[in-house]
Structure 1
Amino acid sequence: MNYANFPLDKRMPLPSADAEKGEDFIDIERLLGMAARQVKVVAVCAVIGLFLGVIYLQTTPKQYMSVASVLIDEGLNKVVDDISAASVTMQTDAALLSQIEIINSARLASVVVDKLKLDQNQDFMNPPQSALAKGIGFLRGVIGYFRSNSADEIPGMENVDAATREAMKKEASHDYAVLKLQNEVQAQRNGRSYVIAIGYQSPNPALATAITKAYSDAYLADQLNASFDATERAAVWLQGRLAELRESSQKASMAVETFRAEHGLSANSDGQLMSDKQLADLNAQLIVAQADTARASARYQQYKAIVDSGSDNAFNDSAIASDQPASSVITTLKTRYLTIAKRLQDVSANYGADHPQAVALAKEKADVSAQIFGELKQLTENYRNEYEVAQTRETALRQKIADAAGKSSIDNQSQVKLRDLNQQATALTTLYQTFLSRYEEASQQQSFPVGKVRIISDATMPLSAAGPRTSKVLALFLVLGVLLGAGFGGLNEFNERFFRTGDDIRDRVGLKFLGYLPTIGG
């Protein structure tokens, strides 16, 4: 049986929104019916979308992508690091992002524009565009024309002569080329590596290759120039500091020698002050003098005691004197004394003590004893003199030590200042030598600057187009066509004024459904 569409009288009351809100469920069957009724609309829109996609592909010029890869290589400048004490840190994510910003900088883009004269290259300045891009550009041009008095006039050039106007136009064209190149060049990091890919896309594959190669070369040259400039600035700064340090070091050394001369702080080869050495020598001499004084005093007291005991004990005490090196006379007298004493004993025993010979021997014995006592007194006097000399020498040494100690104390106080001056001079000399070494290293490095970048994949001529991709474009336009068709179908469903089923009459009008009528008149 055929279902007929019955137009509704616009004066018939429609069900209220509150009645429709009572349906709190989705009617799948109804949705499928709507989809079945609008499938032709969706299909037509999908076909139109595919047709538009084909037109877009036919009117859009193919784009060719050329890519070069550069490596931020920390080990490349090892030959420089061997002579440079500057610390080298591994490139972090932030450092790599900084390198990408350098690639995208206006300065690098300007170098490439100047090298390839891109501001005079029509393939770069005005590349072929798709119909869609031309339409958008036309609309922008119209809007821009109505916004300004003249579409081609540069502001501020009304009162400028022709030569200046031409120069300003060239400068504006150059700036536009730089800005365009900045926006179109692509630089990105490959994963988590230290490799940065530099790419450029153009309808002209030769131009894309030339720009990519020029960009990678310009970036490599920029890194070398940056290394050279940094080394040159460091060398200039070091040279200035070296002159200051040389002068400061010389002044410090001169101050040390002047202070040493003013205070008499002469030193031996071991760095010991002469006053300290002299004091040490005097102390050693004092120890010897004290020992000599003690020895002379003991000897003098011993002989003085012998003399004080009188001449009666002279012979008995002469045994002590005979042990001394200077007592040869006493020894001779003692021998003579013993000989006389023995003869006296023999004569007295044979002839009696009153015998004239015994009396003569007794007198001779007394004379020899007196001579021994006289020698002892002479030795005592000599030893007293030696004792006094030793005592005088010891006293003199003590005075010298006191004087030397005072001078040494003063010298030690001056030595503190001298040591401070010496430390300053040594520190300045060491610093000067360090800076001199760094300056020599910087001068050597300046003669062969080595960057941290190398090209690991040079730009090559692309053999196939990078875009537009036929499958992706057609799929996109197909999806857009289907969505557009679904939109039109939805509008048809919600704007129609017909009853299509008996349920529509019962639900929306509230009347009984009597039945369907066949389509009349073909």
Structure 2
Amino acid sequence: MYQSLKPDAAAPQPSAVPLRAVEGAPAATAPKRPGPSPLAGITPFMIIGWVRRFWIVVVVLAVLGALAGYAAGTLIPPRYTSYSDILLDPNDLQLVADDLYTRVAQGEAQLIDVESKMRILSSISVLGRAVDQLDLTQDPEFVDADNASASADDKRIAAVRTLGDRVRVSREERSYVVTTSVWANTPEKSAAITDAVVNAFLIELAAVESDGARNASDALNQRLAELRNDAAKAEGAVVDYRREHGLPATGDGQLSAQTAVQINTQVDTARETLIAAEARYASLTSSTGGSSQESETLAQLRTEYATAKQRADALAATLGPRHPSLATARAEQAALQGEVDQEVARIVEAARIDLQRARDVFDQLSNAAGTQLGSVFSDEQAQLELRQLERTATSTVAIYEAYLTRAQQVAERSQLNTSKVRVISPAMAPIARSYPPRTALLAAGGLVGGLLAGLALAAGLGFLQYLFLTTRPRPTAPPRMRAA
């Protein structure tokens, strides 16, 4: 395989010297000529021979590469990525005729609106909502062991940062469809986090839109406070004028016939109720009329008392006055008598309370009827001034009510979601991992890489050996002694 280096037969011999060579003197040497370059003699067959010579290195590196690829596919934590498509239509719904927001955005403005919404999708507010919804601060995948003992705020910040690194938002050109992707170590968690981020985005987008309406409502409410005070002052002036001049609440200043009839009817009814209450109380307090006003409880107690008295009288006829059975019967009779007395006292007290209440109602209605009848009069000048105050109050109240109606409309508008943003493809748990590639593919890649590295190393070792053999110095023959 290797070419042997032959001595150069055509090398010039040293010229004869007439003098004798001194023993030990160096012999004359011929001048050296530059030899050919070592790289010039390398052929593909030589490289193949070098690889065959060091085939063990090739095999070892190929096996190590395959093992490294298999270990990487087994040991590297997998990443599962789920995707969700969202339609960010910039043309919002117009639910009310006089809406706060205009709907005339076209062309470039629509793309700017879509890009802005994409920025909201990956904002800290949206990610924070998703972290709070799924309680990712307690997930070791998002909060590492170094932050396990940190405060709740620090954990939340760490989880938001980790989630922000995993969220990707993209949009195809000339399209309003935005794709959101999130990766996690399990397929189910990846899909759950993606859905949480999308839902948080929809909530945040509705909140951003409603905040504008809420700010407008706050501005209107500030003006409403002044209008409310003006309206209250105007109405208060009307009421004070009526009170000072004793004017009735009716427009013509006279009590209506219907009001008078109602007052008289109430007074008559109260008088009848008072008469009935007085008769009942008198009947109960009389010595002979109380029995007619007995209640069911009192009648039952009287029946039980009569029965107990008969039993006591029967025992008294047959037994002595100190007999235990007779004493028990007498005690029962006395207890029933006490209950009868208490029930009678209760009925009398209830009748007295009803009588007092009827008197109070009658007196109040009588006083009210007298007051109203005594305050009926007509004062033209007072009515003129009153009508002027009423017109001023009506105008002020009308302005206040207009502002109040608009403020309520704006407040209700803040509760409406007019956005046409829709989730057209909900997140689904991925079937295969997105990173690293499959273990078999990594092992095959490692095998190919190790094989290529082994071939390169084998060729390099062969080249170094060839270079060493071709560039080392050749041994020279010792000088011969010439005869004297």
Q: Shorter-chain-normalised TM-score: which range?
A: 0.3 to 0.5
Q: Which has the higher helix share?
A: 1
Q: Given the two structures, how large is their TM-score scaled by the length of structure 2?
A: 0.46
